[in-house]
Structure 1
Amino acid sequence: MSTVADKLAKKSSSKTSAKQVRLRLVYVDFWSAVKLSFLTAVALAIVTVVSVFLIFTVLQTTNLLGKLDEIVMAFSSGTFSLNEFLNLPQVMAFAAIVAILNLIVITVLGAVIAGIYNMMVKVTGGLLVGFTSN
């Protein structure tokens, strides 16, 4: 006599065959790569500006910049002050310049990598990617 538990055990022990598909990536669209790298660069630029602002405000509120300014003035005999150079508008302008330069570099780098990959595919045949259904 077979019970329901025996029937369920038989069903669970039989393995279902997982379908496998292997595809070859032989072309990366140039403009899609540029758009994706641009959007990634925009996100990174926003993160850069916000993180610089947060770090500067934390350093300002903990008075760490004031203590560092005292140390620098002691070494420079009072001729050089960090507070002249490290104020919020100048720090944020520097962060914006770095973010814009990163935006340009990352966008161009994405385009160059897409072009190199498309040329490399002619030699190597592309990247083999496998997918399964489990």
Structure 2
Amino acid sequence: MSSVAEKLQRKEHRSATSKQVRLKLVYIDFWSVVKLSFLVWLCLGVVLIVASVLVWVVLNSTDVFHSLDLLLRDILGNENFSITDNFGLSQVVLFTFVVAVLNTVTGTILGAIGALLYNLSVRFTGGLLVGFQNN
């Protein structure tokens, strides 16, 4: 009995003919674009929140906030000033969450507007000509 690998090895290699196809993109589904843009901006919002928390933790653990506290106490002359009181982790996460939600809403709306504008412009331009090739 011969294995599949031996059968494939015995076969002659035929040259593959490449076929080229040209298609026109004449319609983009509105709800598909809205769902896709929502998911993309939602993922970017999560990345933004995680990145801001990591930056805050790194700055706090390397005593950058303490050094800034000392510098600002000398400049302002206030001995009770502390950056971590004003910009604690909870405030940073809340602010980043609000920015992520606003980015998600704005990005979803812009994606929907882009799909509508493309579908309207196809009536005048005829759509995008896209070429595909089979290798």
Instruction: Report the equivalent of 1:96.
Output: 97
Instruction: Report the equivalent of 1:82.
Output: 83
Instruction: Report the equivalent of 1:4.
Output: none
Cα distance in 2 between the residues matched to 1:80 and 1:24: 63
Cα distance in 1 between the residues matched to 2:75 and 2:117: 51
Instruction: Report the equivalent of 2:33.
Output: 33
SS of residue in 2 equivalent to 1:21: strand
Instruction: Report the equivalent of 1:44.
Output: 44
Instruction: Report the equivalent of 2:111.
Output: 110
Q: Percent identity?
A: 44
Deviates more, 1:75-84 or 1:40-49: 75-84
Cα distance in 2 between the residues matched to 1:110 and 1:51: 24
Q: How many residues align?
A: 123
Q: Which amino acid aligns with 1:132?
A: Q
The TM-score, its normalising length taken from structure 2, stands at: 0.84
Cα offset for 1:17?
3.1
Q: Which amino acid aligns with 1:59?
A: L
Cα offset for 1:73?
2.0
Cα distance in 2 between the residues matched to 1:70 and 1:124: 63
- In structure 1, stretches of 5+ residues that fail to align are 1-10
Cα distance in 2 between the residues matched to 1:59 and 1:46: 20
